[in-house]
Amino acid sequence: MNVIGIDPSLSCTGWAMMDGQKLLTWGHIKTKPGNHGRQLVQIQHEITQVLIGHDGEVALEWPYYAKNIKTTITLGEVRGIILAVCEHCGITPASYSPSEVKQAVGCKGNASKQQVGQMVRALTGAEGLTEDESDAVAVAMCHASRMRGNNNAS
């Protein structure tokens, strides 16, 4: 199963494509601070390039809390852009909480980004991933794990 995992963020959105447990490719969308609208347009453009022609599934991390209301609104805007791009590409994404994602890669629900990154590197053998890319890999792995579980239950 081909899955693209996405870790949404205004400053640096991570993404990763996996086939089963094999990491195929990854990257991130780093935006320049200052013009909020321009950052959202950049994310829209670049995530469209990632998703165009993708015939697999997409999974997003769902933020269950934020430090303040401005952060919450900003994450909602970024997720909204990504959801709209998915719809445009004919993809219905799945969403997972941060604790579900962490547990899927063998971490505790309160693990740090560094711990998730270490586990992702151990599981994939991939070096040089940014924290956002590691989180995106973990999201893809979480989705793949859930889909395997659903297929086994059928």
**Complete domains list, the chain, with CATH:** 2-153 (3.30.420.10)
Q: Which of 46, 57, 100, 132 is catalytic?
A: 132
135 is catalytic: no
Main-chain dihedrals φ then ψ at residue 16, nearest 5 degrees: -155, 140
pLDDT digits (tens, 9 = 90+) for 137-151: 999 999 998 887 765
**75 contacts 68 by C-beta, under 8 angstroms:** no
Whether the model pTM is above 0.75: yes
pLDDT at 154 over 60: no
pLDDT of 64: 66
**Three-class DSSP category at 81:** helix
132 is catalytic: yes
The mean pLDDT of 81-109, rounded to a whole number, is 90
